Amino acid sequence: MNEGLRSSGANDSFIGRRTLGVENHFNPCKGVHVGKRHTWFRRNVKSFAFMVVLMIFVFLLDSLMVSVFSSIKFHRISNERNSNGGEGDSVAYVHEERSTVEMYSRLLNSASSALTKEEFKQDSLKFWEEPSREASKWKPCADKRYPTSLGKPEESNGYIMVSANGGLNQQRVAICNAVALASLLNATLVLPKFLYSNVWKDPSQFGDIYQEDYFMSMLKDDIHIVRELPPHLKSLDVEAIGSLITDADIPKEAKPNDYVGTVLPLLMKNKVVHFLGFGNRLGFDPLPSDLQRLRCKFGSTTARRFRSREFLRRDYVARGSSKYLALHLRFEEDMVAYSLCDFGGGEYEKKELETYREMHFPLLIERLKNSKPVSPAELRKLGRCPLTPEEAVLVLAALGFKHGTYIYLAGSRIYGGSYRMRPFTSLYPNLVTKETLLTPIELAPFQNFSSQLAALDFIACATSDVFAMTDSGSQLSSLVSGFRTYYGDGHAPTLRPNKRRLAAIFSENSSIGWNTLEDRIRKMIEEGQRVRVRGSGRSIYRQPRCPECMCRS
Ligand SMILES: *[C@@H]1O[C@H](CO)[C@@H](O)[C@H](O)[C@H]1NC(C)=O
Ligand SMILES: *[C@@H]1O[C@H](CO)[C@@H](O)[C@H](O)[C@H]1NC(C)=O
Ligand SMILES: *[C@@H]1O[C@H](CO)[C@@H](O)[C@H](O)[C@H]1NC(C)=O
């Protein structure tokens, strides 16, 4: 999997560099508005300002990502880059060879002419703003002290160790849950560790991404935290004494009682338990509100240091008056292959995805053999298919975002690479990724650390003027949208399409008129922006509008 993802990543950096660097900025004749030198000039100033802003903003990260720069050996990375480059080129070539993807070519033409018309209108697009005033009535208040707060236990029942798995965002959820759990069990938390995974290949530890001291001081009134186990426990073989708890030992979304029943006795007996993995192992409801609040506190406080950067950025942006939209387009090969959907790439695509599944998802293949097949068309109708770059760009165009809109593309290992992104980049050429914003040398320190790269994306999305996602089930998208709800003060809009409704709209691709499409897509997005209070069982990270996290004034 890694090969494929890495090489398409290399393609993507090619896209951005071409569109941002050459065509659009230094060669006005190739730009879309020939003869409009004036606009072109303004555009350049803006884009320059935008790049400066983002660069400064990204540079500031080193305070967040303590010790990253110092720990990296420089020459090894330049080697890595070189070999990557070669690989990327050959893959790009293969992609050029395949037959054209025919998805929505008529609609894309309509979108293109709609954008040309819009270009001369004033920019009064409402989707840069949160539609409802109601949104700004909710204020963050997880930090507030309550008379009922549990406070630190007088006596600790033992030590909890956590080795979180997954990528940056899953790890973050695991830590939030571990904090709540330490409080529930009156336990002392050992600073969390991150498991090394063969998928993410990132050796970063907690201290590489978060500030340990800050973490400890922020929770000092709530739970005991230590850096390491005391020596007499360190020498124990945790597995041999039965204190190693894996995800198989605890149900998903477990309830507090599950922990009190199974984990507490172990903790009391052995004075230490070690959670290995710990993905999604604490449900949202029912949970005593003090624990919920604590969880919310960590979830938001970790993110808080991102926030000072937001102010900085806003400050620069105010001067340069440039806005940007961040898009989390989830169209990575693994996800695309797993979905079993059809993405308009014909036989070539079918074979490629089939091969990928055989290599990476043997269990899925096994399951398919024993079950009734669901057709790709049916899957699409059910809203189970990841949005393609074509679909994502149609949504943005239907919402009225202008041709010159600056778009930060998060993730960016798009299946099909620059080839697949072509319809997108021709409608929105000012597309950047972290790879195109930063030079290879600037990027090098992060290159091997997927969690740190993911943190760059998190920050760029969290602080964007408007954030658009294509998959509301994604961990990054939901943490980012929760962060924006929490800190956005009602001015951090998130655009969240409903895949099932979108599938219904796009199924009329050969007949639907552009105006009708616009109306229906706008309605869908507006409904997704209604201010709602978190429903029972829903994630507080995605939807922090609930009494434990936010207060309604
Ligand atoms: C934790 O400590 C509090 C008092 O500080 C006590 O009321 C509660 O029962 C304890 N819970 C456990 C699981 O030990
Ligand atoms: C990055 O990863 C590659 C491949 O795993 C390795 O060869 C290289 O030494 C690594 N570079 C750094 C700086 O760790
Ligand atoms: C586009 O329209 C055609 C004809 O109505 C239909 O067969 C096809 O499934 C549609 N494509 C998608 C992706 O819905």
Give the SS3 label for residue 445.
helix
Give the model's pLDDT for residue 272. Answer: 97
* 153 Cβ closer than 6 Å to some ligand 1 atom: yes
Residue with the smallest CA separation from ligand 2 atom 3 is 80
Least confident of 385-399, 432-446, 463-477: 432-446
Please list the alpha-helical segments (H only) found in 284-345. 289-320, 333-339
Query: How far does the centroid of ligand 1 lie from the alpha carbon of residue 243, in Å?
Result: 21
Distant-in-sequence, close-in-space partners of 48: CB < 8 Å, separation ≥ 6: none
* Average of per-residue pLDDT across 117-133: 82
Q: Which residues of 235-250 are buried (b: 16+ CB within 10 A; e: fewer)?
A: eeebeeeebbbeeeeb
Whether 273 shows a pLDDT value over 60: the answer reads yes
CB-based contacts of 420: which residues, under 8 Å, 6+ apart?
A: 95, 101, 331, 388, 389, 414
Minimum mean pLDDT range among 257-266, 333-342, 382-391, 431-440? 431-440
Side chain identity at residue 314, one-letter code = R
- What spacing in Å lies between the alpha carbon of 410 and ligand 2's midpoint? 23
Which strand ranges, in their side-by-side order, compose the sheet holding 324-328? 431-432, 406-410, 324-328, 466-469, 494-495
Ligand sitting nearest the alpha carbon of 380:
3
The answer, yes or no, to whether any atom of ligand 2 lies below 6 A from the CB of 84, is: no
Is residue 329 within 8 Å of residue 425, measured between CB atoms? no
Pick from 127-131, 150-154, 169-173, 292-296: least confident: 150-154
Q: Which residues contact 254 (CB under 8 A, 6 or more apart)?
A: 281, 282, 283
Distance 344 CA to ligand 3 centre (A): 10
In the prediction, which pLDDT does 313 show?
Answer: 53
Q: Is the CB of 186 under 6 A from ligand 1?
A: yes
Residue 15 above 80 pLDDT? no
Is residue 157 lining ligand 1, measured as CB closer than 6 Å?
Answer: yes
Question: Does the Cβ of 76 fall within 6 Å of ligand 2?
Answer: yes
pLDDT of residue 147: 56
Give the integer Cα–Cα distance in Å for 154 and 237: 27
Does the Cβ of 80 fall within 6 Å of ligand 2? yes
**Percent of the chain predicted with pLDDT > 70:** 76
From the CA of 260, give the closest atom in ligand 1: 13
- Closest atom, ligand 3, to C-alpha of 507: 14
Give residue 506's pLDDT. 96
Whole-number Å distance between alpha carbons of 86 and 91: 9
Q: Give me the pLDDT at residue 455, please.
A: 80
Q: How far, in Å, CA of 295 to CA of 508, rounded?
A: 44
Name the residue among 448, 457, 495, 410 with its Cα closest to residue 208.
448
Buried b or exposed e, range 359-374, using 16+ CB within 10 angstroms: ebbeeeeeeeeeeeee
Atom of ligand 1 nearest to the CA of 153: 5
Tokens representing 160 are 């909890």
Whole-angstrom distance, CA of residue 483 vs CA of residue 90: 39
The three-class DSSP label of residue 202 is coil
Does 159 score more than 80 pLDDT?
yes
Ligand 2 centroid–CA 247 distance in Å is: 30
Nearest-CA residue for ligand 1 atom 10 is 186
- 156 neighbors 196 (Cβ within 8 angstroms): no
pLDDT of res. 230: 95
What's the 517 CA to ligand 3 centre distance in angstroms?
14
The protein residue with its alpha carbon nearest to ligand 3, atom 14, reads: 507
pLDDT of residue 415: 95
Q: What average pLDDT does range 380-396 have in this prediction? A: 96
Q: How far is the CA of 174 from the centre of ligand 1 (A)?
A: 23
Residue 164's pLDDT band (cuts 50, 70, 90): very high
Q: How far is CA 20 from CA 15, 66, 425, 495, in A?
A: 8, 31, 10, 24
The candidate with the shortest Cα–Cα distance to 238, out of 204, 271, 281, is: 271
Instruction: Say yes or no to pLDDT of 21 above 60.
Output: no
163-167, 180-184, 433-437: range with highest mean pLDDT? 180-184
For ligand 1, atom 2, the nearest C-alpha belongs to 153
State the DSSP string of 339-354. HT---S-HHHHHHHHH
**Beta strands 550-552 and 244-246: pairing type?**
unpaired
- What is the reported pLDDT for 268? 96
Does the pLDDT value for residue 16 go beyond 90? no
Higher pLDDT, 105 or 53: 105
Residues 307, 327: Cα–Cα separation, whole Å: 19
pLDDT digits (tens, 9 = 90+) for 76-119: 323 333 333 333 333 333 444 455 677 899 999 999 999 998 87
Q: Which atom of ligand 2 is nearest to the CA of 444?
A: 13
User: From the CA of 5, how far away is ligand 2's center (Å)?
Assistant: 16
Q: Which residue has 């080129």 as its token pair?
A: 89
Length of the chain: 553
Top-confidence residue, 128 or 102: 128
Tell me: the pLDDT tens digits for 468-521? 999 988 889 999 999 899 988 899 999 999 999 999 999 999 999 999 999 999
Which ligand is nearest to the Cα of residue 264, counting in written order?
1
CA of 75 to the centre of ligand 2 (A): 10
- Beta-bridged to residue 244, according to DSSP, are 274
Residues in contact with ligand 3 (CB, 6 Å cut-off): 506-507, 509-510
pLDDT at residue 107, rounded to an integer:
95
Nearest CA to ligand 1 atom 4: 153
Q: Please count the helices (runs of H) and the strands (runs of E) in the chain.
A: 23, 13
User: Does the pLDDT at position 307 exceed 50?
Assistant: no
Question: Distances in Å between the alpha carbon of 305 and those of 53, 60, 177, 359, 463?
Answer: 18, 11, 20, 41, 12
User: Which one of 69, 72, 202, 448 would you pick to mutate in the ligand 2 pocket, going by the greatest count of ligand atoms within 8 A of its CB?
Assistant: 448
Percent of the residues in the chain that have a pLDDT greater than 90, as a whole number: 47
Using CA atoms, how far apart are residues 516 and 110, in angstroms rounded to an integer?
A: 12
Cα separation of 221 and 214, whole Å? 13
pLDDT of residue 183: 93
pLDDT of residue 275: 95
Atom of ligand 1 nearest to the CA of 186: 1
> Distance, CA 144 to ligand 3 centroid (Å)?
53
Lowest average pLDDT, out of 11-15, 256-260, 365-369, 450-454, goes to: 11-15
- Grouping H, G, I as helix, E, B as strand and the rest as coil, residue 381 is helix
pLDDT for the residue 509: 92
> Ligand 2 centroid vs 334 CA: distance in angstroms?
23
